[in-house]
Amino acid sequence: MNKLLKFLLASCFSLAAITATAAPADLKVGYVQVDKILQEAPQTIESGKKLEAEFKPRTQELERMQKQIQDQQAALDKDGLTLSETDRRNRERDIANNNLEFQRKQRELREDINLRKNEELSSLQDRINKAVTSVAESEGYDLVVYGGVAYASKKVDITDKVLKALGKK
């Protein structure tokens, strides 16, 4: 009985090994370079232009404020010796307050830009995932991976196909 059990176990392991080596031959694998897609997809360029246009007025306002502060500082440096102590302190206080306001608006702008960039990136990621799924399903891929891959040959790289599906090429 012991020999029969060993024979059955050996047969099962042999069959499992044969099945495991035969299955990958039928597996169709693809790889997508996400960083390349994020750089080259037309939606990325459109998104950048959209964000630039959206925040252009606020950026221009900050540039105007910065110039005003610089002009005020230059005027204070120029007239500082001839001003009374009270006038000089008032101007310094005004400049400091304007500077604080400028920094606050600059920080708010950066936060708003980052928030919108994240929203646009999330939307783009959804589009990329749909394009990858579309290419994978239409060409019969069993597995498509991106990110965290040490090596992928050009044979399994479907990045250009995904870019085409996104409207790049």
Residue with tokens 């310094």: 92
What is the pLDDT, as a whole number, of residue 68?
96
d(CA 50, CA 56): 10
Is residue 128 within 8 Å of residue 71, measured between CB atoms? no
For 31, list phi and psi in degrees, rounded to 5.
-135, 140
**Which domain does 27 fall in, by range?**
2-166
pLDDT tens for 113-128 read 999 999 999 999 999 8
Number of structural domains the chain divides into: 1
What is the pLDDT, as a whole number, of residue 148?
77
Q: For position 36, which CATH number holds?
A: 3.30.910.20
Q: Is the pTM of this model over 0.75?
A: no
